[in-house]
């Protein structure tokens, strides 16, 4: 009884959150609400008589509740021992039910949202716990759910993207692309000098792709350049859209030359125009090998008719597998171009955007960079997710 004479109860923050939740509920017995309030008031140092007067109950009831707390904790103080089906703690089955809910899509449970929020998951658990056979969870707190999911390393509130391998021939196509990179490596000597065969017949390899939808955006007011007082560029939040352009581009993997073609579209006719530019660039005895994806423009009848007019073996296509764009070295160039030149770009006309894109390529080609694949064949095949392999090549 000595413990009962203390002026306060020492409760953990989790216990306080639990009791506060109970004290505000209107769907449980009134005596349980009163008992929760008794423990909270006692933790604040209120006397038995003050608590009894505040709740309009007898001081004996207050004393009994506190006594049961010291005997068996919160559960014993709140709930009568004869109360059926009231477990003293959250069971493993109840925890498994929480995990199952957290791993489901809310839309499949009748909600409009795609991802859970902590608040929505908490409400769903409290609402359906009784019918699921876990009445203890009707009073579960949000901090407990947050802590529990963190312990289980479950994050139903976040999305992490990856690339699904939907190509049945993914491995074989990947192997073919990597073999091309290996062959390119063999075309250089130990000093990095290109080895020219005696017959002067070379296999030129071009890493190719399109970058459609490059937006031409103009300002509605001139930018304010940095000053000693304001060190940043200040720009009016309003802007005007002038349309879009498509960039068809390749990298000569032997020389590092970046090859651009800016167009209004990226149809078969545009792709054919790019091939014609390459055909004029290289000697007739060379083979032009192009690494590219399976875009319809690359495999269309129109493109095939053009290829049929070329000398046999002039062009050879090596297709990357679906969702395997990371295997194509041009992706590194596009990423670099976006960061260096396209980010935040403003122009007065679409023509200016086109001119600046060509200017960028001219600047790059003044000091061309030869790209080399840096993963070995056996290393790349051990990788399972393309997000782990983003831009796995180096420039020298």
Residue 388: the pLDDT is 37
At residue 230 the predicted structure's pLDDT band, cuts being 50, 70 and 90, is: confident
List, for residues 54-103, the tens digit of each pLDDT value: 998 998 999 999 999 888 888 888 887 654 544 447 888 999 999 999 99
Tokens 């560029």 identify what position?
233
How far apart are alpha carbons 71 and 102 in whole angstroms?
Answer: 36
How would you write 111-165 as a 3-class SS string?
CCCCCCCHHHHHHHHHHHHHHHCCHHHHHCCHHHHHHHHHHCCCCCCCCCCCCCC
How far apart are alpha carbons 206 and 203 in whole angstroms?
Answer: 10
Task: Give pairs for 277-284: CB < 8 Å, separation 24+.
Answer: 278/204, 278/206, 278/250, 279/310, 279/314, 279/315, 282/202, 282/204, 283/200, 283/202, 284/311, 284/314
- Nearest-Å Rg of the Cα atoms of the chain is 35
Residue 136: the pLDDT is 87
| Cβ neighbours, 10 Å, residue 312 | 7
Residue 299: the pLDDT is 94
What angle (nearest 5°) sits at the alpha carbon of residue 18, between those of residues 17 and 22? 115
Find out whether 17 and 141 touch, Cβ atoms under 8 Å: yes
Residue 165: the pLDDT is 65
Residue 27: the pLDDT is 67
Among candidates 391, 336, 393, 337, which has minimal Cα distance to 370?
393
Q: Which fold has domain 170-224+237-395?
A: Nucleotidyltransferase; domain 5 (3.30.420)
Tokens 């581009």 identify what position?
249
The answer to whether residue 171 scores a pLDDT higher than 50 is yes
Tokens 């391998």 identify what position?
165
How far apart are alpha carbons 183 and 358 in whole angstroms?
Answer: 30
List, for residues 325-381, the tens digit of each pLDDT value: 888 999 999 999 999 999 999 999 999 999 999 999 999 999 998 877 765 555 554
Helix (H) / strand (E) containing 34: helix 30-43
The residues spanned by each domain of the chain are 2-78, 92-151, 170-224+237-395
């Amino acid at each position: 009884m000595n413990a009962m004479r203390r002026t306060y109860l020492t409760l953990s923050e989790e216990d306080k959150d639990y009791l506060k939740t109970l004290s505000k509920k209107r769907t449980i017995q009134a005596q349980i609400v009163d008992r929760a309030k008794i423990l909270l008031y006692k933790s604040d140092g209120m006397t038995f008589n003050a608590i009894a007067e505040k709740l309009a109950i007898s001081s004996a009831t207050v004393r009994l509740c506190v006594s049961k707390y010291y005997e068996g904790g919160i559960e014993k103080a709140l709930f009568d021992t004869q109360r059926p089906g009231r477990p003293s703690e959250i069971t493993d089955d109840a925890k498994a039910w929480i995990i199952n809910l957290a791993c489901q899509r809310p839309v499949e449970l009748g909600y409009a949202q795609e991802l859970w929020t902590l608040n929505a998951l908490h409400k769903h658990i409290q609402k359906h716990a009784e019918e699921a056979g876990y009445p203890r969870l009707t009073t579960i707190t949000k901090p407990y759910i947050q802590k529990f999911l963190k312990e289980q390393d479950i994050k139903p509130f976040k999305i992490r993207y990856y690339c699904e391998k939907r190509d049945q021939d993914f491995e074989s196509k990947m192997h073919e692309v990597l073999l091309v990179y290996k062959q390119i490596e063999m075309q250089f000597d130990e000093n990095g000098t290109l080895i020219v065969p005696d017959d002067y017949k070379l296999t030129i390899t071009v890493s190719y792709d399109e970058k459609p939808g490059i937006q031409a955006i103009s300002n509605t007011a001139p930018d304010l350049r940095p000053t000693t007082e304001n060190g940043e560029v200040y720009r009016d939040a309003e802007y005007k859209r002038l349309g879009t352009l498509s960039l068809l581009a390749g990298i000569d993997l032997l020389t590092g030359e970046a090859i651009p073609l800016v167009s209004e579209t990226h149809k078969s006719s545009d792709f054919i125009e790019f091939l014609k530019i390459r055909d004029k660039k290289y000697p007739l005895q060379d083979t032009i090998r192009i690494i590219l994806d399976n875009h319809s423009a690359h495999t269309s009848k129109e493109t095939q008719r053009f290829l049929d007019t070329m000398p046999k073996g002039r062009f050879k296509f090596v297709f990357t597998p679906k969702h395997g764009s990371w295997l194509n070295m041009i992706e590194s160039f596009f990423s670099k171009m976006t960061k260096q030149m396209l980010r935040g770009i403003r122009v007065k006309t679409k023509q200016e955007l086109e001119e600046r894109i060509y200017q960028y390529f001219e600047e790059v080609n003044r000091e061309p960079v030869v790209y080399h694949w840096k993963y070995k064949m056996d290393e790349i095949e051990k990788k399972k997710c393309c997000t782990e392999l983003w831009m796995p090549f180096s420039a020298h």
